[in-house]
């Protein structure tokens, strides 16, 4: 039997499992479909598909900026002609049609007839505030980094982890590191925080489901290190009103200063304590039960990541404190395309890196910590790395 026939059989089997809600079947089926696609594609198909992806992203960003995604979502799933969608805008009818056809080809909207379209669940998600914030950040701030990358490679030699005095790709394009850049731009900082809060929308399960925090903790102290505006602790408190311990949110003063009234009242209602903290300085909360840190270590080269982790390790109490890191554990033999792309996103934005298990082990060892267990959650999702002080 050829490989493609085997894959088709496998997909049929996984589809049955998926319909019975077998855990992991959905992800395995998507991986098998991708494998089948690459098996069937000729070299030419693979390369051209890849090459044109960039223009799909350009077109999507144009449609968002021109208000087309908002306009079609506002119709609530009812079919609408491109003419109606374009009425009242300052854009050419023909241009609108071209963009809507592109969105339909990517299944971001449905085409219901010639020049007639409707919004789907994907469109609604695409139009959400968090998703729009992501599209703006990726396109408006990271496209210029990509556009300068060839000059950056030739000028700097692109060291994986730039030393002081050396520039990484973001600094090369914008003159300052990413976090400094966004601190000077309130609109961008707002989009960044919005994007961070929307990461789990429709996708990644809560960390306290992947690692069963509440099964072993009725009280105690949980600290979210660099937890941005506290949405992770707010979700925990909402789902576990019986928790009698203390929830502490740490981040930079500039992040707390940007909390709007709604965010502030969520924090207050959840009984969360705010602690301003620069994570390169000593951790002020000593001996907490849980130190949780999500999507932060991949922002930093090894040297800074060790400095940061050592501060938390120093504050941890053996036998009581646990560190839970939510980040990708990269499969270095069969990497998921999203994890691989995210790794390059980290490189371009922050001189950061998505790490393999071996790399995590070394990083934690160098910080006075050791891995107890990795709680996996699917190849395209981050895992929870549970660690204790050595």
Does the protein bind ligand SAM through residue 325 (CB under 6 A)? no
User: 177 — alpha (psi -120 to 50), left (phi > 0) or beta?
Assistant: beta
Among 290, 302, 307, CA closest to 354: 302
**CB of 307 closer than 8 Å to CB of 380:** no
Residue 6 CB-density burial (10 A; 0-12 exposed, 13-18 middle, 19+ buried): middle
Which range of residues in 76-84, 103-111, 226-234, 357-365 is near ligand SAM by CB under 6 A? 226-234
381 is known as an active-site residue: no
Does the protein bind ligand SAM through residue 201 (CB under 6 A)? no
Does the protein bind ligand SAM through residue 255 (CB under 6 A)? yes
Q: Which is nearer to ligand SAM, 97 or 251 (CB)?
A: 251
Q: What span, in angstroms and rounded, lies between the C-alpha atoms of 100 and 122? A: 14
Per-residue interface string for the shown chain with ligand SAM, residues 134-173, x marking contact by CB under 6 A: ----------------------------------------
Which one of 29, 71, 226, 274 is in contact with ligand SAM (CB under 6 A)?
226
**CB of 214 closer than 8 Å to CB of 233:** no
Coil/strand/helix, residue 296: coil
Q: C-beta of 57: minimal distance to ligand SAM in Å?
A: 21
Does the protein bind ligand SAM through residue 252 (CB under 6 A)? yes
The kind and range of the H/E element at 372 are strand 369-375
Q: Which is nearer to ligand SAM, 91 or 179 (CB)?
A: 179
**CB of 363 closer than 8 Å to CB of 355:** yes
Q: C-beta of 312: minimal distance to ligand SAM in Å?
A: 11
Which range of residues in 24-32, 159-167, 208-216, 292-300 is near ligand SAM by CB under 6 A? 292-300
Does the protein bind ligand SAM through residue 295 (CB under 6 A)? yes
Among 160, 205, 157, CA closest to 359: 160
Which range of residues in 50-58, 87-95, 129-137, 293-301 is near ligand SAM by CB under 6 A? 293-301
Beta strand pairing call for 329-330 and 290-294? unpaired
**CB of 161 closer than 8 Å to CB of 301:** yes
Does the protein bind ligand SAM through residue 5 (CB under 6 A)? no
**CB of 320 closer than 8 Å to CB of 351:** no
Which one of 179, 302, 310, 357 is in contact with ligand SAM (CB under 6 A)?
179
103 Cβ partners below 8 Å, 6+ apart? 59, 60, 63, 68, 69, 109, 117
Tell me which residue has tokens 């489901």. Answer: 209
Q: C-beta of 52: minimal distance to ligand SAM in Å?
A: 30
Out of 3, 209, 298, 328, the active site residue is 298
Q: C-beta of 197: minimal distance to ligand SAM in Å?
A: 7
Q: What span, in angstroms and rounded, lies between the C-alpha atoms of 126 and 143? A: 19
Q: C-beta of 350: minimal distance to ligand SAM in Å?
A: 8
Does the protein bind ligand SAM through residue 183 (CB under 6 A)? no
Residue 111 CB-density burial (10 A; 0-12 exposed, 13-18 middle, 19+ buried): middle
Does the protein bind ligand SAM through residue 117 (CB under 6 A)? no
Q: Which is nearer to ligand SAM, 7 or 347 (CB)?
A: 347
Count the helices and strands in the chain (H runs, E runs): 21, 12
Q: C-beta of 308: minimal distance to ligand SAM in Å?
A: 8
Q: Which is nearer to ligand SAM, 228 or 312 (CB)?
A: 228
Which range of residues in 24-32, 46-54, 274-282, 372-380 is near ligand SAM by CB under 6 A? 274-282
Does the protein bind ligand SAM through residue 196 (CB under 6 A)? yes
Does the protein bind ligand SAM through residue 346 (CB under 6 A)? no
Interface positions with ligand SAM (CB under 6 A): 179, 196, 199, 226-228, 251-252, 255, 277-280, 294-296, 299
Q: Which residues are catalytic?
A: 298
């Amino acid at each position: 039997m050829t490989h493609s026939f085997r894959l088709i059989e496998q997909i049929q089997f996984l589809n049955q499992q998926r319909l019975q809600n077998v855990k992991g079947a959905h992800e395995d089926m998507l991986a098998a479909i991708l494998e089948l696609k690459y098996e069937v594609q000729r070299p030419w198909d693979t390369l051209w598909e890849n090459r044109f992806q960039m223009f799909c992203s350009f077109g999507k960003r144009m449609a968002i900026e021109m208000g087309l995604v908002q306009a079609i979502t506002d119709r609530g799933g009812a079919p609408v002609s491109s003419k109606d969608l374009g009425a009242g805008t300052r854009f050419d009818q023909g241009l609108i049609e071209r963009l809507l056809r592109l969105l339909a080809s990517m299944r971001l909207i449905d085409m219901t007839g010639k020049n007639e379209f409707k919004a789907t669940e994907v469109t609604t998600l695409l139009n959400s505030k968090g998703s729009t914030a992501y599209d703006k950040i990726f396109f408006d701030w990271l496209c210029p980094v990509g556009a300068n990358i060839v000059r950056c490679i030739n000028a700097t030699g692109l060291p994986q982890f730039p030393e002081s005095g050396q520039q990484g790709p973001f600094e090369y394009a914008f003159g300052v590191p990413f976090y400094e850049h966004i601190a000077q731009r309130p609109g961008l900082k707002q989009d960044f925080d919005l994007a961070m809060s929307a990461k789990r929308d429709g996708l990644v399960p809560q960390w306290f489901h992947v690692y069963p925090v509440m099964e072993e903790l009725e009280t105690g102290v949980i600290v979210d290190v660099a937890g941005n505006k506290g949405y992770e602790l707010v979700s925990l408190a909402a789902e576990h009103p019986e928790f009698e311990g203390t929830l502490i949110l740490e981040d930079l003063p500039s992040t707390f200063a940007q909390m709007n009234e709604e965010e502030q009242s969520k924090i207050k209602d959840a009984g969360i304590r705010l602690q301003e903290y620069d994570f390169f300085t000593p951790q002020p909360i000593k001996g907490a039960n849980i130190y949780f840190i999500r999507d932060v270590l991949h922002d930093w080269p090894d040297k800074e990541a060790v400095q940061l982790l050592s501060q938390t390790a120093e504050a941890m109490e053996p036998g009581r404190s646990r560190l839970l890191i939510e980040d990708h554990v990269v499969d270095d033999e069969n990497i998921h395309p999203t994890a691989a792309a995210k790794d390059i996103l980290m490189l371009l934005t922050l001189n950061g890196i998505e790490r393999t298990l071996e790399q995590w082990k070394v990083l934690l060892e160098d910080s006075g910590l050791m891995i107890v267990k990795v709680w996996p959650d699917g190849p395209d999702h981050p895992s929870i790395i549970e660690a204790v002080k050595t």
